[in-house]
Chains A and B, each alone.
Chain A
Amino acid sequence: MFRYPTRLANARSSQHDSPPKLGRRAGREISTIQQVSGQSSVKTVPRRTPPVLEFHSSAKWKSYFEASKANTKLIVIDFTASWCVPCRFMEPVINEFAAKYTDVEFTKIDVDELMDVAQEFGVQAMPTLVLIKKGRVIDKVTGVRKEELQKKIEKHRTSYIGA
């Protein structure tokens, strides 16, 4: 039985000289960094898109975290490290979601800068995305996993947290 080759979800012809190879392995390529200019960890975003909030001091994080307990907003914390290359694959995903899910707050913490916070949330690998609501951890994604993160954001952005 002849199986027709499955094309990759994203067109790769612009990036590769050779045609898509025969084979049934179609994996969706992570949004490529080639589209992101510059190398700052927070991409320069158009004015109307909510930014990803970066925290560089434990004190600032603590006060933000305490304040967040007063409302039911979903907060996504992106734990990364400046030297973490896999984390770079997640950046465009976070920026995309920050633009799309405007009712969700996206934050970013460097595990070396805020070691105590990273330890508090049990971060052992990067990137780790922690979803919190009213000061409680309600979900977690470890590694560059776009679909799983999207599913969890959509699930929790409007879910009710009981008393």
Chain B
Amino acid sequence: MAGFEGFEKRLELNFSGDDPAAVAEGQDLGLRRLSFESLEKVLRAVQCTVVSAVANHYFDAYVLSESSLFVYPTKIIIKTCGTTQLLKSIRPLLSYAAEMGLILCGCRYTRGSFIFPNSQPYPHTSFRDEVNYLESKLPNTLIYRKATVMDSTDSDHHQWHVFTASDGTHFMSDEFYTVEVCMTELDPVLAGKFFRRLNCKYSGDIDGKEMTEITGIGDIIPNAIICDYGFDPCGYSMNGVDVDRYSTIHVTPEEGFSYASFEMVGPGFDGLGEVLKKVAKVFRPGTLSVATTSAGREVWTRVKSALEPTGLKCRSVAADEFPAVGSVVFQTFTTRRN
């Protein structure tokens, strides 16, 4: 018997345009000019829909029926859970981008280990299938490619799957890094807060707001504008918008396959350690993994000292270098009882 798959697949595509200067100055919307009809077509290929959205001067953020979508002028990030066929978004996206004069210069695909791997449709049937599919869809100009499974030594053998490709022109900025946190075995009482109240009229965004408040999620990044949603009968998603940086949380609260993810672009106002402490407190998970991409040593070395006081013991650290994104560090934690 399979339950809902909380573990997401995350795809990031980086583009360059005819006039990079205009984009840098904020004068060219780039990918944000993608019409909603085109966006809907892309999402249809992936089998998910928009349930909420918000935009500011830097990017557009969408809450989807199966996670999130972020559209920047030269970057698009789609993160989907369940049994969505995320990689099927690549062909339509590249086609629409080409129509707008945008060329793909970098690609990053990451995911953890599925709880129900046998329920995944092709090409998500295995990492090998995913990589082969990616290789076939990406243009030959992306000559630098690397696919690696980063291992851990924890009891559940959680792994972090990474594929990046680059044409050599695009490099992640020195300034920003991303953090992808995956949590399982959520504290049942805390997870219970992500169930819709009984006898409640169908009101997804209202319930989402309440869940954000009662769980303390709203305090994780206090300055962020939050777009949240509570699913029926349970489940929660939120996007946080903080100037040019996003954060996103998705929760599958059912016991037996409970899962929560937290992702953000740093650096933010608070240090990463402070943020992770708050995240651990919201969910009190039995297992937690942190993958940092493009983060300097001074960032990822703080993760362990931030989390261990919360009762999570570091079980493994793995690091590797990838085209365009630089270093990816994968750390796993479990509570002492595990």
**Interface residues in chain A, defined as those with a beta carbon under 8 Å from any beta carbon in chain B:** 2-3, 6, 8-9, 12, 15-16, 18, 21-30, 32-34, 81, 83-89, 124-127, 142-148, 151
Q: B50 contacts which chain A residues (CB < 8 A)?
A: 29-30, 89, 144
Contact of A143 among B36, B53, B71, B206 (CB under 8 A): B53
Interface residue? B205 (CB, 8 A):
yes
Q: Mind listing 29 A-B residue pairs with CB under 8 Å? A: A6-B232, A21-B83, A24-B254, A26-B232, A27-B64, A27-B65, A27-B204, A28-B51, A28-B202, A30-B53, A34-B40, A85-B32, A85-B34, A85-B35, A85-B39, A85-B53, A85-B71, A86-B61, A86-B62, A87-B55, A126-B54, A126-B56, A142-B225, A143-B53, A143-B225, A144-B52, A147-B203, A148-B206, A151-B203
- Quote the shortest CB–CB distance from A113 to chain B (angstroms): 15
Q: Is the CB of B4 within 8 A of A27?
A: no
Compute how far the CA of A54 lies from the CA of B39 in the bound complex, rounded to whole angstroms: 27
Interface residue? B276 (CB, 8 A):
no
Q: Is the CB of B227 within 8 A of A143?
A: yes
- Quote the shortest CB–CB distance from A115 to chain B (angstroms): 12
Q: Is the CB of A89 within 8 A of B53?
A: yes
Q: A9 contacts which chain B residues (CB < 8 A)?
A: 202
Q: B47 contacts which chain A residues (CB < 8 A)?
A: 16, 18, 21
State the majority secondary structure of interface residues on A. loop
State the majority secondary structure of interface residues on B. mixed
Compute how far the CA of A24 lies from the CA of B2 in the bound complex, rounded to whole angstroms: 12
Compute how far the CA of A16 lies from the CA of B65 in the bound complex, rounded to whole angstroms: 14
Q: Is the CB of A16 within 8 A of B44?
A: yes
Question: How many B residues have CB within 8 A of the partner chain?
Answer: 48
- Quote the shortest CB–CB distance from A131 to chain B (angstroms): 16
Compute how far the CA of A88 lies from the CA of B33 in the bound complex, rounded to whole angstroms: 12
**Interface residues in chain B, defined as those with a beta carbon under 8 Å from any beta carbon in chain A:** 1, 3-4, 29, 32-37, 39-40, 44, 47, 49-56, 60-66, 71, 82-83, 202-206, 209, 225, 227, 229, 231-235, 241, 254
How many A-B contacts are there with CB distance less than 8 Å?
Answer: 127
Contact of B235 among A12, A25, A34 (CB under 8 A): A25
Q: B83 contacts which chain A residues (CB < 8 A)?
A: 21-23
Q: Is the CB of B51 within 8 A of A29?
A: yes
Contact of A83 among B33, B37, B40, B44 (CB under 8 A): B33
Compute how far the CA of A88 lies from the CA of B52 in the bound complex, rounded to whole angstroms: 11
Q: A3 contacts which chain B residues (CB < 8 A)?
A: 3
- Residue in A closest to B63 when the chains form the complex, CB atoms: A27
Q: A144 contacts which chain B residues (CB < 8 A)?
A: 50, 52-54, 227
- Quote the shortest CB–CB distance from A151 to chain B (angstroms): 6
Contact of A147 among B49, B82, B206, B231 (CB under 8 A): B206
Q: Is the CB of A151 within 8 A of B29?
A: no
Compute how far the CA of A31 lies from the CA of B55 in the bound complex, rounded to whole angstroms: 18
Compute how far the CA of A23 lies from the CA of B32 in the bound complex, rounded to whole angstroms: 30
Q: B3 contacts which chain A residues (CB < 8 A)?
A: 3
Q: B206 contacts which chain A residues (CB < 8 A)?
A: 147-148, 151
Q: B71 contacts which chain A residues (CB < 8 A)?
A: 85
- Residue in B closest to A10 when the chains form the complex, CB atoms: B49
In this complex, the member of A24, A86, A126 whose beta carbon has the largest number of chain B beta carbons within 10 angstroms is A86
Compute how far the CA of A66 lies from the CA of B54 in the bound complex, rounded to whole angstroms: 30
Q: Answer whether A27 and B54 are a contact pair too, CB < 8 Å, given A18-B47, A85-B36, A125-B225.
A: no
Q: Is the CB of A86 within 8 A of B229?
A: no
Q: Is the CB of B60 within 8 A of A147?
A: no
Compute how far the CA of A89 lies from the CA of B66 in the bound complex, rounded to whole angstroms: 18
Q: Answer whether A148 and B44 are a contact pair too, CB < 8 Å, given A24-B4, A29-B49.
A: no
Q: Is the CB of A125 within 8 A of B55?
A: yes
